[in-house]
Structure 1
Amino acid sequence: MQQLSDKADRLLLRALQDNARLTSGELAQMANLSQSPTWRRVKQLEDAGTIKGYHAALDRRALGYSVLAFVLIGIDHQNETSSQAFVQAVSEIPEVVQFHAISGQADFLVGLVARDLDHYSELLQRKLHRLPGVRQVQSHFSLQEFKGQMADLPVPLD
């Protein structure tokens, strides 16, 4: 991981995180730099992997996904083969927008979106319960988002 060289890098990252559509001229003005050094700094941050990409934040509700669920999943065995099969299968479900291996009683945390509770029930019965090695599934539904909104994550587009 690259160390940020100074306050200007942090300022540029903060500005781009808030609005990735800023021009290099606008960024330069915000950072009190000229345009060329600003562009070089941003390019260095991209090349180092500090800036991983640029995207449009989509509103899941506007796209018909009113349900946001966090699903704790325990699997039977935590060996490389079974874990890889599980990870591959979960990664292929379009409605999965977050996926983490976690510590604690469950092995994985899956964040997914669904059009409604009927759609979620279908995902649960036809996909999640049928994943390789699933031992336990526990669902939690988001009632309200305050910070770290799901707009930052991809939404499946049919």
Structure 2
Amino acid sequence: MQADLDRTDLQLLRALQDNARLTSGELAQMAHLSQSPCWRRVKKLEDDGVIGGYHAGLNRRALGFGVLAFVMVGIDHQTEISSRAFEDAVCAIPEVVMFHGISGPADFILVVVAKDLDAYSDLLQRKLHRLPGVRHVQTHFSLQEFKGQLGGLPVPVA
């Protein structure tokens, strides 16, 4: 369900998405509000689920993850029980940083990080191929990153 957002809400969202470390005073000044009304608006955006959290964008390479892979996975059957077992097993793998059910020839896409190709090969053989119900796995490696992580969402200008 889409939230009913006015111009000030959108301005606050753009500002927070660009820099979530803004103080409430800085944010209020940018939105031309006093601090209390600004805080109430941000709190409402949080309560309504428009703001899902505040995160630090980490550099995977600086943390030693030189490989970024998009892994397409097809599973045998998609019953509720088998899908739940697969989902739980995937969510338990720390190297899987994104996980989505998708349409098309594969059932799921996993975004995976690894130290290097040897580490990815080990992860593939020891974990990914052994996931419950896996029928096939196809890996696509990122060769060049143009827009990292999820990037910013396009917040409309009201």
State the TM-score, normalized to the length of structure 2.
Answer: 0.92
The farther-off stretch of 66-75 and 52-61 is 52-61
Q: Name whichever of 28-37 and 108-117 sits farther off.
A: 28-37
SS in 2 for 1:65: coil
1:29 aligned to 2:29? yes
Secondary structure, in 3 states, of the residue corresponding to 2:71? strand
1:83-117: CA deviation from partner (whole Å, max 9, x where unpaired): 01000100000100000000000000000100000
CA shift in 2, pair 1:18/1:11, >3 Å? same
Q: What residue identity is the alignment partner of 1:20? A: A
Tell me if the contact between 2:73 and 2:134 (Cα under 8 Å) persists in the aligned partners: yes
Contact persistence 2:3–2:50 (CA under 8 A)? no
User: How far apart are 1:48 and its partner, in Å?
Assistant: 1.0
Contact 2:3 2:48 in 1 (8 A): no
Structure 1 unmatched ranges of 5 or more: 153-158
Q: What is the DSSP-based 3-state SS (H/G/I as helix, E as strand, rest coil) of the residue aligned with 1:41?
A: helix
Query: Within 2, Cα distance between the matches of 1:145 and 1:37?
Result: 39
Cα deviation, 1:43-97, whole Å, max 9, x if unaligned, reads 1111111111111111110000010000000000011111010001000001000
User: Distance between the aligned counterparts of 1:10 and 1:2, measured in 2?
Assistant: 13
Identity of aligned residues (%): 72
1:70 corresponds in structure 2 to 70
The one-letter amino acid paired with 2:50 is T
Taking only aligned residues, the RMSD between alpha carbons, in angstroms, comes to: 1.2
Residues paired across the two proteins, number: 151
User: 1:19-55 CA distances to partner (integer Å, 9 max, x unpaired)?
Assistant: 1000111111111111111111001111111111111
**Cα distance in 2 between the residues matched to 1:19 and 1:40:** 19
Cα distance, 1:121 vs. partner?
A: 0.1
Given that 1:58 and 1:151 are in contact with CA atoms closer than 8 Å, whether structure 2 keeps it comes out as no
Give the conservation status (yes or no) of the 8 Å contact 1:57–1:151: no
- Any conservation in 2 of the 1:129–1:137 contact (CA below 8 Å)? yes
Q: Does 1:141 align with 2:141?
A: yes
Q: TM-score, normalised by structure 1?
A: 0.92
The one-character-per-residue Cα deviations of 1:126-154 (angstroms, maximum 9, x if unpaired) are 0000001100100001111112x1287xx
8 A Cα contact 1:2 1:48, kept in partner: no
In 2, Cα distance between the equivalents of 1:62 and 1:150?
14
Number of the residue aligned with 2:124:
124
Unmatched segments (≥5 aa) in structure 2: 152-158
- 2:41 aligned counterpart, secondary structure: helix
Provide the rounded CA distance (Å) in 2 between the counterparts of 1:45 and 1:102. Answer: 28
